[in-house]
Amino acid sequence: MSLEGGYHGDTAGAMSVGYIEHFFGAYRPLLARVSRVPSPLLYGSRFGNEEDLVEWCLEKTEKVLKRRGGKCAGLVMESGAQIAGGVVIYPRGYQQKISELCKKYDTLLILDEIATGFGRLGNMVEYLAQKSRPDIVCMGKALTAGYFPLAVTLAREKIHDTFLASYEKNRQFYHGHTFTGHPVGCAAALANIQLYEKRNLVQQIRENAQYVKQRLREFAEIDAVADIRHRGLLAGIELARNGKPFIHLKNKERINYFVMRESLEMGVHLRNLGNIMVVIPPLAIGRSDLKRLLDVHVQLAKKAEKL
């Protein structure tokens, strides 16, 4: 089971639990059937406040878990926010309550912190900040600062011990790949974590997050901006025209291609998620570069509005 809107993962299994038609449509006949529950995105919903929205999402989630009668293997979700799913920032307490539901119905809570961990949302370990208790957690990307492909999977002791037995009992974990435990990747991760501590990077991220928050007020003055979602060094700026997603310019050019092309000409590489401008800078970005990045975002939002 997964949240609607997309789950950020890198395996064939992730295509099933985080199905997005545009990304995975060609593989649909091969994918496993899963149940999906709503994601807590206030923008575009029928609710006037986050409290009512969260309550509704939790009711829908519990209904699915209850219907499954303890037979749901696990609930998979990104921790703290959905990024590829449209920059959906979870309301306070939402993830904690999902965690409690999983425990109530004996369902594994599987969290993906590949993109949201290691400071992206302002916390080194996001599930701790969310006061949730996962059974399995996936981490990667910023683990090595992107210098080497390495990911880790953390699991509760009782899950780990399930695979422990004598060889004859055939309980070993039959999964792995050629580069498992690669020493260069592990060395890069250790060096990276040391730099986090030496530079007090999480505090720097939090300070830059406050700067981003201040700058985002500029987007509220642009008519084409319908919603702004932000936490840490992540923001989603939803573009709309006449109440509908702003997908094409008047010349039929797609907005995401326009942003990519124009930003490169301005010396910055930006990438939209459809009609959503995504602010997701390097975690160690300096203030001057962050200012330039946001300046380009503002200029392009204003320019797109007129085209």
Give the Cα separation of 301 and 4 in Å (integer): 27
* 43 shares its domain with 133: yes
Give pLDDT, residue 92: 95
* 26 shares its domain with 126: yes
Is residue 171, in this structure, part of any structural domain at all?
Answer: no
Is residue 264, in this structure, part of any structural domain at all?
Answer: yes
Give the Cα separation of 26 and 114 in Å (integer): 25
Is residue 170, in this structure, part of any structural domain at all?
Answer: no
Give the Cα separation of 228 and 111 in Å (integer): 25
- For 13-27, the pLDDT digits (tens) are 778 888 888 788 899
CA distances (Å), origin 127, targets 85, 134, 144, 187, 231: 18, 8, 19, 25, 14
The percentage of residues in the chain with a pLDDT greater than 70, rounded to a whole number, is: 96
The CATH number that applies at residue 298 is 3.90.1150.10
Report the domain count for the chain: 2
pLDDT range class, residue 12, cuts 50, 70, 90? low
Is residue 127, in this structure, part of any structural domain at all?
Answer: yes
Q: Are 14 and 63 in contact (CB under 8 A)?
A: no
* 20 shares its domain with 123: yes
Give the Cα separation of 131 and 128 in Å (integer): 5
The CATH number that applies at residue 87 is 3.40.640.10
- For 195-214, the pLDDT digits (tens) are 999 999 999 999 999 999 99
* 8 shares its domain with 102: yes
Is residue 161, in this structure, part of any structural domain at all?
Answer: no
Return phi, psi of residue 152, to 5°.
-130, 155
The per-residue DSSP string of 175-242 comes to ---TTTT-HHHHHHHHHHHHHHHHHTHHHHHHHHHHHHHHHGGGGGGSTTEEEEEEETTEEEEEEEET
Is residue 88, in this structure, part of any structural domain at all?
Answer: yes
- For 236-266, the pLDDT digits (tens) are 999 999 999 999 998 999 999 999 999 999 9
Give the Cα separation of 255 and 241 in Å (integer): 12
pLDDT at 10 over 50: no
pLDDT at 1 over 70: no
Q: Which of 102, 121, 139 is the last residue of a domain?
A: 139
Is residue 197, in this structure, part of any structural domain at all?
Answer: no
* 206 shares its domain with 135: no
Give pLDDT, residue 179: 84
Mean pLDDT (the chain) is 93
* 214 shares its domain with 128: no
The percentage of residues in the chain with a pLDDT greater than 90, rounded to a whole number, is: 81
Give pLDDT, residue 6: 54
* 124 shares its domain with 240: no
Domain range for 283 is: 202-306
DSSP annotation of 118 reads: T
pLDDT at 192 over 50: yes
CA torsion sign for 56, 35, 74, 178 is negative
Q: Which of 123, 139, 155 is the last residue of a domain?
A: 139
* 132 shares its domain with 38: yes
- For 22-49, the pLDDT digits (tens) are 788 899 888 988 899 999 999 999 999 9
Is residue 186, in this structure, part of any structural domain at all?
Answer: no
Specify the pTM.
Answer: 0.91
pLDDT at 165 over 90: yes
- For 90-127, the pLDDT digits (tens) are 999 999 999 999 999 999 999 999 999 999 999 999 99
Give pLDDT, residue 23: 81
CA distances (Å), origin 92, targets 36, 51, 253: 21, 9, 38
Question: Within the chain, what is the greatest distance between any pair of CA atoms?
Answer: 70
Q: Which of 115, 139, 163 is the last residue of a domain?
A: 139
Strand-pair partners of 48: none
Q: Which residue has the higher pLDDT, 255 or 6?
A: 255
